[in-house]
Amino acid sequence: MRSQTPRSAPPRPRPSPVRLLAGLVAAVLAAVLLSPAPAAAAVGSQIRYTTITSHDGTAIRAKVITPTGTEGPHPLLVMPSAWGTPHLLYVGAGARLAQESGYQVVTYSSRGFWDSGGRIEVAGPQDRADASAVIDWALENTDADPGRIGMAGISYGGGISLLTAAEDDRIRAVASLSGWADLQESLYPGGTVDVQSAELLLGAAALTGRKGETLQNVERAYRRGDIGPALDMAPDRSAATKVDRINANGTAVMMAHGWNDGMFPVGHITDFYGELSGPKRLMLAPGDHATQELFGAAGLPDEVWEGVGDWFDHHLKGEDNGVGAADPVMVKPNNGRGAWSSHPDWESVTGGEQTFHLGRPGTDWTRWQSSGAMGAEPDTGWSHGVRTGIGTTAESGTVLLSGALQQFFDVPTGVLLPTVDRYRAGVWTSPAYPDGARVAGAPEATFTLTPTAREQSVFVYLYAIDSNGRGALLSHAPHTLRDAVPGAPVTVTTELAPVVWDVPAGHRLAVVVDTRDLRYRSESTIGNRVTFTSPEAEPTRVTIPFA
């Protein structure tokens, strides 16, 4: 988390995303080794290590977890590992599923990582063929039921599971945890490169695997500042482009995601969920990328993995456990450690919307009163220039760390609003909410921008602010103008990440817009200037969804 501090305060050191990933993986592997589930394997399951020969002869290393004391055939669950992790990732959860529910589980190291052969193909056709080959092997070498097959995975494993379900109609149910549905929207949100996520993925691949040709080409281009090859590979590796096939197969799809997922932003998950027409379930709760599910993967108690078990029990075993009758959308507020609430669809999470028109912002960065007003009536005709430079502005935090702090300690990514440099940011504040309020859904902002360069980035933040000006980040969105005409105004409407957040009584909302954020590659360079205007035809405004 990066909280805003006065200008005189030294910058806080930022932890390396690769080290954060390594620490999380180490914690999970330690939990696997210390978890009681594998120790109980002699009672209810058997675990063996094996090699599965894939479609092209590649050796895929796997853990095969077989239930004991129950007669087969057993429903089959196949679990591809997450990016940078081995098949050990799911041993705890797999053992519990085998022992408690009688599943035949095969968890494997994805191609190119750890002990599996081949090279990293970034969920390409080879990876999907691997998953189908693992299913073939399990049907031939275990007492797995060919009519009851499911796939589950975290992150990379969740993405591969969705993609394989689009191509292999034997898969009846999927659980994708912290996965992605649209790779372009994940790694290039708002036309902006997510640097922290890109560096984390590339660093983890270098440490734990062998990069294939596609990934090598993408990395070389990325280092040159060219995102083209990444965008070219994205459609084939996005379940969003294959949703019709998933629907045609009738696959039951469960997705769980963290509000603060810094790698795969939650907005594209809610969009994809809306496109699914078959049985579906969505669980959204506090957390960053995979931080919700990691300890449950090790076999420890976990609400998400309990939901996964119920999902497969209903759709693969036919159990009448309430899954079919329950409202499928479950959300937990991102602050305050509130309880789950259930809804018939994603749209029902939002009860209503309020549009705030943004007035002329002040320029005295030392005073609270210099903020512009967020009001009900349009305020047009003003302009406000934001210059890119070194100064105190807002930020969205650090991938993995910020969301984990919010999840485990209820510590948000913060800002001290009076210290935000009004020459380098636009700031607007709403009236206070005397009884509090619940923001629920995806906020939306509309600005008219006049850039001084062809490519410039802006970042929009929504905060809840207390009486002392201390703010908690609810949501944000990057947006980069590409091939703009310098000096020509352009109106931009951008959707911020969905969130459910309880605004405390007496707090107010604040919108901050600036041109730099350390999570992203900003195309705004020092000296660039973006002017915000509010023309009568398109007044500058923000729409906030409320429960």
Q: What confidence category does residue 272 fall into, taking pLDDT thresholds of 50, 70 and 90?
A: very high
Q: What confidence category does residue 221 fall into, taking pLDDT thresholds of 50, 70 and 90?
A: very high
Phi and psi at residue 150, to the nearest 5°: -135, 165
Q: What confidence category does residue 393 fall into, taking pLDDT thresholds of 50, 70 and 90?
A: confident
Q: Which whole number is the average pLDDT over 406-419?
A: 95
Kindly state the percentage of the chain with pLDDT values over 90: 87
pLDDT value at 107 more than 80: yes
- How far apart are the C-alpha atoms of 154 and 149, rounded to whole Å? 18
What confidence score (pLDDT) does residue 73 get?
Answer: 97
Residue 503 near residue 336, CB atoms below 8 Å: no
What confidence score (pLDDT) does residue 297 get?
Answer: 97
Q: What confidence category does residue 389 fall into, taking pLDDT thresholds of 50, 70 and 90?
A: confident
What confidence score (pLDDT) does residue 453 get?
Answer: 96
What confidence score (pLDDT) does residue 6 get?
Answer: 33
Mean pLDDT value across the chain: 91
The number of helix segments (H) and strand segments (E) in the chain equals: 15, 26
Q: Is 241 helix (H, G, I), strand (E, B) or coil?
A: helix
The model's pLDDT over 222-269, given as tens digits with 9 standing for 90+, comes to 999 999 999 999 999 999 999 999 999 999 999 999 999 999 999 999
**E strand or H helix at 150:** strand 144-154
- How far apart are the C-alpha atoms of 371 and 210, rounded to whole Å? 51
What is the secondary structure of 254-269 as a DSSP string? EEEEETT-SSS-HHHH
Q: Which whole number is the average pLDDT over 69-82?
A: 95
Q: Which whole number is the average pLDDT over 518-526?
A: 94
**Of the candidates 307, 251, 313, 238, which has an alpha carbon nearest to the alpha carbon of residue 279?**
251
Burial of 42 (0-12, 13-18, 19+ CB in 10 A): exposed
- How far apart are the C-alpha atoms of 66 and 103, rounded to whole Å? 7
- How far apart are the C-alpha atoms of 45 and 102, rounded to whole Å? 9
Q: Which whole number is the average pLDDT over 454-481?
A: 97
Residue 322 carries which DSSP code? S
Q: Which whole number is the average pLDDT over 265-286?
A: 98
Q: Is the peptide bond before 73 cis (omega within 30 degrees of 0)?
A: yes
**Of the candidates 110, 113, 115, 139, which has an alpha carbon nearest to the alpha carbon of residue 127?**
110
The model's pLDDT over 93-103, given as tens digits with 9 standing for 90+, comes to 999 999 999 99
pLDDT value at 365 more than 70: no
What confidence score (pLDDT) does residue 361 get?
Answer: 86
Reading across the β-sheet that carries 280-285, which strands appear in turn?
45-53, 59-67, 104-108, 74-80, 144-154, 171-177, 252-258, 280-285, 329-331, 341-343
Structure tokens, 457 = 């980035």
CA angle 13, 18, 24 (to 5 degrees): 100
Q: pTM for this structure?
A: 0.91
- How far apart are the C-alpha atoms of 462 and 433, rounded to whole Å? 15
What confidence score (pLDDT) does residue 370 get?
Answer: 57
Q: Which whole number is the average pLDDT over 510-514?
A: 96
- How far apart are the C-alpha atoms of 500 and 285, rounded to whole Å? 9
Q: Which whole number is the average pLDDT over 292-317?
A: 96
pLDDT value at 19 more than 70: no
